[in-house]
């Protein structure tokens, strides 16, 4: 098998990766071994945006089950679209609409559903296949963070892991919360897509003052199992403050991650296959 974990996360910046927000950002993704064995692509995706006064990131996990001939979906499409859209919408609400980031959840729901509807309308499926197209191409969970100099916000719709200042906020149990399910015919109250008609809602995991945030890790559910969370190398890499001399924005920690964390994970697993499911993370650390 090829060397585990590489850069498969989309990155955007209109400030040449320069930011006044004093955090370094790093993310990687890996196709799960179970998917590799079944010739299913990596159905995780991630997006990072670095602006002058804001950093936004999202990971998304596409639902594997679907309606194709092998009973599997192509939701690497849904994960990629969703992770990009939630970052883009959050950026617009915060920077163009000048909303406090603690108040963008409602606008994110309305706008995301509007974009989903436009995508579905452009595909123009026959009525009998509408729900199947949604299930095959748009079904994805996501975790989103928005970070400014003053405040931060973490939102989710579906499962995964969030670590805030080293404390795990597991989202296990939210696995069937797919925001695109609001498009399914049996969920639609009417087609105006106002907030009170949104059945699957976006959840606020935490919001607070940036001064209180030292580190943040968001990950799809394939990454941090119990064995990995207990490794001291895991905590040291993601949660210790050792980023002196780094510049704010996206930084290259892949060699360090592979040497100090990935090698220890492989040794801990001792021949047990990992990751079985697709695994994607974005790490944020104060510098």
| 73 torsion bin: left (phi>0), alpha (psi -120 to 50), beta (else) | beta
CA atoms within 13 A on the CB side of 113: 27
Burial of 287 (0-12, 13-18, 19+ CB in 10 A): middle
Please give the pLDDT value at position 4: 76
Residue 36, SS3?
helix
- What residues in the chain have per-residue pLDDT under 70? 1-3, 7, 174-175, 186-197, 242-245
* pLDDT at 244 (0 to 100): 63
Q: So what's the pLDDT on residue 242?
A: 65
Q: What is the pLDDT of residue 193?
A: 47
pTM over 0.95: no
Token pair 């924005």 is found at 249
Taking the C-alpha atoms of residue 215 and residue 165, their distance in angstroms, rounded to an integer, is 5
Task: Give the model's pLDDT for residue 241.
Answer: 77
Evaluate whether 142 touches 86 at the Cβ level (below 8 Å): yes
Q: How high is the pLDDT of residue 189? A: 43
By three-state DSSP, how is residue 152 classified?
strand
The full DSSP string for 207-266 is EEEGGG--EEEEE-TTT--HHHHT-HHHHHHHHS---TTPPSEE---HHHHIIIIIHHHH
pLDDT of 271 reads 83
Q: How far is CA 53 from CA 23, 125, 208, in A?
A: 11, 41, 17
Write down the pLDDT at residue 188: 52
Which domains occur in the chain, in start order? 10-286 (3.60.40.10)
The predicted pLDDT at position 155 comes to: 97
pLDDT at residue 45 in the model: 96
């Amino acid at each position: 098998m090829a060397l585990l974990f590489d850069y498969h996360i989309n990155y955007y910046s209109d400030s040449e990766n320069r930011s006044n927000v004093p955090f370094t950002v790093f993310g990687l993704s890996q196709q799960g071994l179970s998917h590799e064995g079944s010739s299913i692509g990596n159905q995780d995706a991630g997006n990072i945006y670095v602006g002058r006064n804001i950093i936004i990131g999202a990971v998304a996990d596409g639902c594997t089950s679907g309606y194709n001939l092998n009973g599997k979906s192509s939701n690497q499409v849904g994960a990629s679209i969703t992770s990009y859209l939630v970052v883009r919408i959050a950026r617009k609400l915060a920077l163009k609409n000048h909303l406090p980031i603690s108040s963008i959840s409602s606008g994110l729901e309305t706008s995301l559903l509007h974009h989903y509807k436009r995508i579905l309308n452009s595909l123009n499926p026959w009525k009998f296949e509408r729900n199947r197209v949604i299930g095959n191409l748009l079904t994805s969970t996501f975790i989103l963070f928005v970070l400014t100099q003053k405040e931060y916000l973490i939102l989710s719709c579906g499962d995964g892991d969030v670590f805030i200042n080293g404390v795990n906020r597991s989202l296990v149990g939210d696995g069937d919360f797919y925001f695109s399910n609001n498009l399914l015919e049996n969920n639609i109250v009417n087609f105006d897509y106002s907030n009170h008609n949104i059945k699957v809602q976006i959840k606020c995991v935490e919001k607070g003052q940036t001064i209180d945030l030292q580190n943040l890790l968001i990950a799809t559910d394939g990454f941090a199992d119990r064995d990995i969370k207990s490794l001291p190398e895991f905590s040291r890499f993601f949660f210790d403050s050792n980023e002196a001399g780094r510049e704010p924005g996206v930084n290259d920690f892949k060699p360090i991650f592979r040497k100090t964390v990935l090698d220890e994970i492989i040794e801990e697993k001792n021949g047990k296959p990992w990751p079985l499911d697709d695994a994607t993370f974005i790490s944020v650390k104060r510098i």
